[in-house]
């Protein structure tokens, strides 16, 4: 027997769950399909390797949909300062300069996901179907989509939301194309214990082989992101944890301090992807299904959460106006809100990456000069800071703290 839904969200990760929470309490019947429920959180557990730097806009979205308390009740690390430097150029951003108590928060992805899943299950109009996988998708641009799940359930829906990641099967199944290329670098993520107590700064140093970054975690723990060639990352990952610690201490700047222990490490390739279209009849892409961005400034999850907020806003406004939420003219408003903004962020990150990856001496001089000037020109520095935090620009209502219902 077929079950009818207004919206089916494929993927209960951070972005998919945020879309659901944005629609929570409405008259729409929502289903969220997730293949595996995340492990429950215990404060005694070590930090996960997968963490994100949540912006102030992301925090506001989570607060507005009622999920931030679930993050605070688990674990997060606020940071006040961000430093970027090369050989001579150096600039540091501080939240005090714009009257804020922090620039953002380092949060384990699982913590954010659990908080959102916990919140969405409080809404009567949302059903979380987990664990479940899609066996068959029947899509037509003239009628509702039909999904056959591996547990035998058959769902039909007016709107299918693809929140199923960079290799999105929904995106592929409905024929939405993507443009992509590799950056020819991998990122090695290393979970460390340091001699320093909990820090309030995240930093990034640029060297010839690629950036070296530090993200603070609670207590005297931190996350290192070491960008390098695929071969070098493979070599580093094959080392024992003790040998990797010695490589870190020999290669990273003194700002890292003493690494008392390397606890775990993983790696991933850097790939840029951008869907040629975010929507078509009855389908919308959000988060990594629509775009993957160079992780230099940690904006991937943040722009995904802005996607979620914008899509929820467009869906509910269309519903209030009596318009069909599967209509491509309705969904194009979401695409217009997010596609240009995401492309701008992706382009800035690409330019930044290409500029700092180039050892051409005149360009290197200009980079250092630019960082030095950024440190001295306070209005420019503060504008960059506010933009990265999501405090200005074209923001959806949830990111401005406005409820949708």
Rounded Cα–Cα distance for residues 236 and 212 (Å): 14
Decide the pairing of beta strands 30-33 and 126-129: parallel
| Least confident residue range of 83-92, 239-248, 273-282 | 83-92
Q: What is the mean pLDDT of residues 42-70?
A: 96
Tell me, yes or no, whether 280 lies in a domain.
yes
pLDDT at 384: 61
Tell me, yes or no, whether 267 lies in a domain.
no
pLDDT at 59: 97
| Least confident residue range of 143-147, 383-387, 390-394 | 383-387
pLDDT band at 79 (very low <50, low <70, confident <90, very high): very high
pLDDT at 88: 57
Write down the H helix ranges in 253-299.
none
Tell me, yes or no, whether 210 lies in a domain.
no
pLDDT at 159: 98
Mean pLDDT score of the chain, rounded to an integer?
89
More confident residue, 385 or 143: 143
pLDDT band at 367 (very low <50, low <70, confident <90, very high): very low
More confident residue, 374 or 402: 402
| pLDDT at residue 390 greater than cutoff 80 | no
pLDDT at 346: 78
| Least confident residue range of 107-121, 144-158, 215-229, 370-384 | 370-384
pLDDT band at 357 (very low <50, low <70, confident <90, very high): low
The whole-model pTM stands at 0.92
Q: Are 126 and 73 in contact (CB under 8 A)?
A: no
pLDDT at 208: 80
| Least confident residue range of 22-26, 87-91, 154-158 | 87-91
| pLDDT at residue 221 greater than cutoff 60 | yes
Count of structural domains, the chain: 1
| pLDDT at residue 271 greater than cutoff 50 | yes
pLDDT at 180: 87
Tell me, yes or no, whether 323 lies in a domain.
yes
Tens digit of pLDDT for each residue in 331-341? 999 999 999 98
pLDDT at 78: 97
More confident residue, 264 or 368: 264
Tell me, yes or no, whether 86 lies in a domain.
no
Tell me, yes or no, whether 72 lies in a domain.
yes
Tell me, yes or no, whether 349 lies in a domain.
yes
One-character DSSP codes across 30-68: EEEE-SSPPPPP-TTSPPPS-EEEEEHHHHHHHHHTT-H
Tell me, yes or no, whether 224 lies in a domain.
no
Rounded Cα–Cα distance for residues 73 and 321 (Å): 38
| pLDDT at residue 355 greater than cutoff 70 | no
| pLDDT at residue 99 greater than cutoff 90 | no
Rounded Cα–Cα distance for residues 136 and 147 (Å): 6
Tens digit of pLDDT for each residue in 180-195? 878 788 999 999 999 9
pLDDT at 362: 40
| pLDDT at residue 361 greater than cutoff 50 | no
Which domain range does residue 28 map to? 2-76+107-180+272-359+396-400
Tens digit of pLDDT for each residue in 223-262? 999 999 999 999 999 999 999 999 999 999 999 999 999 9
15, 56, 368, 386 from 59: Cα distances, Å:
13, 5, 33, 14
Q: What percent of the chain has pLDDT over 70?
A: 88
Q: Are 204 and 296 in contact (CB under 8 A)?
A: yes
Q: Are 288 and 165 in contact (CB under 8 A)?
A: yes
pLDDT at 369: 42
CATH number of the domain bearing residue 28: 3.50.50.60
Element (H, E) at 336: helix 328-356
């Amino acid at each position: 027997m077929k079950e009818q839904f207004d919206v089916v969200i494929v993927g209960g990760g951070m972005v998919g769950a945020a879309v659901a929470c944005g629609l929570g309490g409405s008259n729409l019947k929502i289903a969220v399909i997730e293949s595996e429920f995340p492990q429950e959180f215990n404060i005694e557990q070590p930090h996960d390797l997968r963490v994100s730097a949540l912006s102030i806009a992301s925090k506001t979205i989570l607060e507005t949909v009622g999920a931030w308390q679930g993050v605070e009740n688990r674990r997060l690390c606020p940071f006040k300062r961000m430093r970027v430097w090369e050989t001579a150029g150096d600039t540091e951003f501080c939240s005090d300069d714009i009257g804020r108590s922090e620039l953002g928060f380092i949060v384990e992805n699982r913590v954010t996901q659990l908080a959102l899943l916990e919140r969405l299950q409080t809404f009567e109009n949302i059903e979380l179907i987990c664990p479940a996988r899609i066996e068959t998708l029947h899509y037509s641009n003239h009628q509702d989509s039909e999904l056959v799940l591996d547990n035998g359930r058959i769902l039909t829906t007016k709107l299918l939301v693809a929140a199923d990641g960079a290799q999105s099967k929904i995106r592929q199944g409905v024929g939405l194309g993507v443009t992509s290329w590799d950056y020819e670098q991998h990122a090695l993520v290393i979970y460390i214990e340091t001699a320093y107590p909990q820090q309030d700064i995240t930093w990034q140093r640029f060297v010839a082989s690629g950036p070296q970054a530090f993200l603070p975690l609670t207590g005297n723990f931190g996350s290192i992101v070491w960008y390098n060639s695929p071969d070098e990352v493979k070599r580093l990952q094959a080392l024992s944890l003790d040998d990797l610690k010695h490589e870190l201490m020999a290669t990273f700047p003194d700002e890292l301090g003493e690494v008392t222990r390397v606890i775990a490490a993983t790696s991933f390739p850097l790939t840029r992807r951008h869907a040629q279209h975010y929507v078509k009849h009855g389908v919308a892409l959000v988060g990594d299904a629509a775009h993957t961005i160079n992780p230099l400034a940690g904006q991937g999850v943040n722009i995904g959460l802005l996607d979620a907020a914008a899509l929820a806003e467009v869906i509910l406004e269309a519903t209030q106006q009596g318009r069909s939420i599967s209509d491509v003219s309705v969904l194009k408003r979401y695409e217009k809100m997010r596609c240009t903004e995401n492309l701008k962020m992706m382009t800035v990150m690409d330019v930044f990456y290409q500029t700092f990856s180039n050892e051409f001496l005149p360009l290197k001089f200009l980079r250092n000069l630019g960082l030095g000037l950024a440190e001295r020109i306070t209005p420019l520095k503060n504008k960059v800071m506010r933009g990265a935090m999501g405090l200005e620009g074209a923001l959806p209502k949830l990111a401005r703290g406005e409820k949708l219902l």
